[in-house]
Chain A
């Protein structure tokens, strides 16, 4: 399972970088979604994967016993997802605003627009 997820993370990173190299902001945004998911998955599997072994302490004892899933990476990922969501919402709105004001999201065309207006 770890192996499969690792390959998936690699694919996500590759796809995201490909998208982000584009001059069009919309594709950069798609790349950002993909790459943040890839990073979140990387953090998630860093603690090792255990299925059906929640980190719960039985009522009778005080400490965890046996192999259990590591709860810390899960907490980290939740934090990262929330932060990533907020930042992405901002980036998306920035894109909308830039499209309205600049008329295009294509970086190359923006440059020629600003040059025209400067002349």
Chain B
């Protein structure tokens, strides 16, 4: 079995073992060990993809383009690695975060299924298979969302479940129509067949269906309403992994769809550009109106997704590189901020900025650890977010897309405003009731937060490492000959 197959098989094997060990304390260690192995496997995959080019494997005995193929180019390998890193960090955090009762109900089983589903979605080279991974991810996320059974999470789940089910059904319809149009679902085969399609209207219809389905997943304007109503309700560890990964699967799918599967079309670029601007704007304005830590952060996911779509809409090599850089940076930073939000709620008993305060005096280390991802998200040099925004703005300037430059800068400013609001509300001002609270967060919470913050600083100080990977990823996306060859010759 190739490393690709292992990367998908390992999380599900771990899930199965976790299910049987769910009442045993060792389940935590098994999970941590398996996710560490997953990270190492992902590093070796990325290494081999960067050196030898894309790699692929055929599942079962069906040769491509008939059977299911899994493949990895630099983009997929990078995403799989970030998934493994975030999976590991959140898993360590979850040790103290998730109640014993929820662990007995099978938290770890669903968690590893979720990681497996996300990894599968990044690695597959078959559109129907992507649909299946979406569903695996969905069912695991449903279970995780309602795991602690509180009333507000049940209410949130009603809209989350409905809209996400709707999006996958739209996706399935699109897949059906595309199959009727081209007779294939293999990515490499689709690349050639969609460019030979004569019936442009039906192809547009397919693109509309697929992009709406992915846009619901990615929480683009005006399809994002399910996200801020649900992401603040589950356990902090769960909302951290949701915030870091789930919307990014939608973004990744949009990259594959518009960057690869369908031929570039100025009309698509215009729609994407409109989507990017409105998503950035409405997300950040929504965040400004909120006063709960995790709700502010949820709205920020939306506005940041807009930046990535902006890169895809500009569709120059530099813009796509910037968007991929942004994708990786945002997963690490946003996941980290949700974990910190979790610590705040755990220490102070609430995430409402009015009811809390005094963390700067009580927990200086946590304050520093919050400032790093918060400043990074707002785009302060020399942190990772600065380079991500710099690349995208540079790309917009290059093709003289001044509106995009303006929107990107304005949204950046408003992001600083919201981050300052959390800083002022939770850290700087004194606690309204002068409550004395236990200041020491458990190591299991602080270690992953510190590790992710260090990673953010490292990306900021040595942006070239990630930049080179992002450049190679965008290069393969725009000139996919090697990726297609790998898929079609998969064994």
> Which residues of chain A have a CB within 8 Å of any CB of chain B?
20, 25, 28, 32, 35-36, 38-40, 42-48, 72-73, 76, 79-80, 83-84, 86-87, 90-91, 94-95, 97-98, 101-102, 107, 110, 114
Q: Which parts of B182-197 form the interface with A (CB within 8 Å)?
A: none
> Which residues of chain B have a CB within 8 Å of any CB of chain A?
128, 131-132, 135, 138-139, 142-143, 146, 149, 151-152, 154-155, 157-159, 161-162, 165-166, 169-170, 172-173, 175-177, 179-180
A91 in complex: contacting residue of B128, B131, B152, B161, CB < 8 Å? B161
A101 touches B158 (CB 8 A): no
B128 touches A47 (CB 8 A): no
A20 touches B179 (CB 8 A): no
In the assembly, what is the distance between CA of A19 and CA of B166, in Å? 13
A90 touches B161 (CB 8 A): yes
A94 in complex: contacting residue of B131, B146, B179, CB < 8 Å? B146
A94 touches B158 (CB 8 A): yes
Contacts of B169 in A (CB 8 A): 32, 35-36, 39, 84
B154 touches A98 (CB 8 A): yes
A27 → chain B closest CB, angstroms? 11
B165 touches A101 (CB 8 A): no
In the assembly, what is the distance between CA of A48 and CA of B183, in Å? 10
A63 → chain B closest CB, angstroms? 14
Q: A25-B158, A114-B152 are in contact. Are A79 and B132 (CB under 8 A)?
A: yes
Q: A83-B135, A87-B138, A90-B139 are in contact. Are A43 and B157 (CB under 8 A)?
A: no
Q: A32-B165, A91-B165 are in contact. Are A47 and B179 (CB under 8 A)?
A: yes
Contacts of A80 in B (CB 8 A): 131, 172
Contacts of B176 in A (CB 8 A): 39, 42-44, 46, 73, 76
B59 → chain A closest CB, angstroms? 14
Q: A32-B165, A90-B161, A91-B165 are in contact. Are A73 and B179 (CB under 8 A)?
A: yes
Please, which residue of chain B has its CB at the minimum distance from the CB of A37?
B169
B172 touches A94 (CB 8 A): no
B209 → chain A closest CB, angstroms? 10
A28 touches B162 (CB 8 A): yes
B139 → chain A closest CB, angstroms? 6
B89 → chain A closest CB, angstroms? 28
Please, which residue of chain A has its CB at the minimum distance from the CB of B146?
A94
A42 in complex: contacting residue of B143, B146, B173, CB < 8 Å? B173
B180 touches A83 (CB 8 A): no
B116 → chain A closest CB, angstroms? 15
Excluding A39-B172, A114-B151, 12 further A-B contacts by CB distance (< 8 Å) are: A25-B162, A32-B169, A42-B176, A46-B180, A72-B179, A83-B132, A87-B142, A87-B165, A95-B158, A101-B151, A107-B158, A114-B155
In the assembly, what is the distance between CA of A106 and CA of B128, in Å? 35
Contacts of A87 in B (CB 8 A): 135, 138-139, 142, 165
A104 → chain B closest CB, angstroms? 11
